[in-house]
Amino acid sequence: MATRSPDAFEADTLTRDAPKAHALVDGYADRREKLATYFDSTARQAWIDLTSDVKVSGIRATVRAGRDEMRGLLLDWLPVDLRRTRVLDAGCGTGALTIAAAYRGAEITGIDVAGGLVEVARERCPSFTGHGRIWWKSGDMLDSELGRFAHVVAMDSLIHYELEDLVDALVKLAERTDHSIAFTFAPYTRMLGTMHKVGKVFPKSDRSPAIVPIAETDLRMCIAEAIPGWEVGRTQRVSSGFYTSQAMELVKRG
C-alpha cells in the first residue's frame, strides 16, 4: 500500500492492447483528472500537513517517516553533484525532493497533476538554492514538451496505475531520459492484493483513487520487454507502519 495515508486509493483497470489504444489514452487522462481533483480537494490539507512538521496522528507519522526515508533513498541514487544536470521530479507534490535536488545544483522541473500542491511547493521553496534552479509546473508528467532530462524521479506518483499502464508511463519517460529513472511501486503481497480486490466491492463514490499492488517479477518482465536498452539497477523496499513502497532504478545501457 505504497502510501496508506491520508486515505486508501483506487485505480480503474486499463489496457495496452493495440485495438484499444484510444481507450488507453482516454483512460489515462481520466485518471489524471481524478487524481488532480482528489489531491486538490479532499486530500489537499491532509497532504500539506503530512509533508510539514506539524503534529499528525500516529498512523500518519509512520507514513511521514516512510516517505522521508524513501525520499532520502531516491536522492542517494542520484549523483552527488547535480550542477548543470537536468532532472525531472515527476509527481513533485509539495516539493521536498525537488528542493533537495536543487540544493545539489540540479536544474530541476517539479511537476504535479495537483496544481494546489504545486502552489504549496512554490510557497515553501527558499529564495536561494545555490547553483540549483527550479521550474514548478502543474500538469502531466508525461508531457513531451517538458524536454529531455538526465535523470527522472517518480516517488509514489505511479502507484495508482495497473501494471500495463505503469510500464507505459515508464516507456514514455525513457524516451526523453538519458541516464536513469528512479520510481516507486506498491509491492504486491497477499494481504495488499486482497485489500485491493475488496476495495473494488464498494461504490466508487465511497472510494478515493487507490494504490495498485504490483508483483516485482511481473514488473521486471514487462520492463525487459517494453524498454529495450534499459536495465533494472538498484531496488529497495521501505516499510514504516502504514507506509510500504518499493524503489526501483532503471539505468540506460551504454
Residues 93-146 pLDDT 10s: 999 999 999 999 999 999 999 999 999 999 999 999 999 999 999 999 999 999
Count, residues in the chain:
254
Most distant pair of Cα atoms in the chain: their distance:
51
CATH of region 18-252: 3.40.50.150
Give 24's pLDDT tier (boundaries 50, 70, 90): very low
Q: What angle do CA 73, 181, 59 make, to 5 degrees?
A: 40
- Sign for the CA dihedral angle at 189, 193, 198, 203 comes to positive
Give 12's pLDDT tier (boundaries 50, 70, 90): very low
Cell numbers found for residue 235 = 531496488
Are 183 and 153 contacting, i.e. CB atoms less than 8 angstroms apart? yes
What's the alpha-carbon Rg for the chain, to the nearest Å? 17
Q: What is the pTM of this model?
A: 0.83
SS3 assignment, position 171 = helix
| C-alpha span between 115 and 52 (Å, rounded) | 18
| C-alpha span between 205 and 11 (Å, rounded) | 13
From residue 31, how far is each of 40, 75, 182, 215 by CA, in Å? Answer: 14, 28, 22, 22
- To the nearest whole number, what is the mean pLDDT of the chain? 85
Given a cut of 70, whether residue 208 has pLDDT beyond it is: no
* Residue 250 CB neighbour total at 10 angstroms: 21
**187: nearest Cα among 224, 218, 232, 225:** 218
Give 197's pLDDT tier (boundaries 50, 70, 90): low
Give 183's pLDDT tier (boundaries 50, 70, 90): very high
- Average pLDDT of the residues in 33-49: 82
Domain-wise residue ranges, the chain:
18-252
Q: Which amino acid is at 234?
A: R
- Average pLDDT of the residues in 25-29: 60
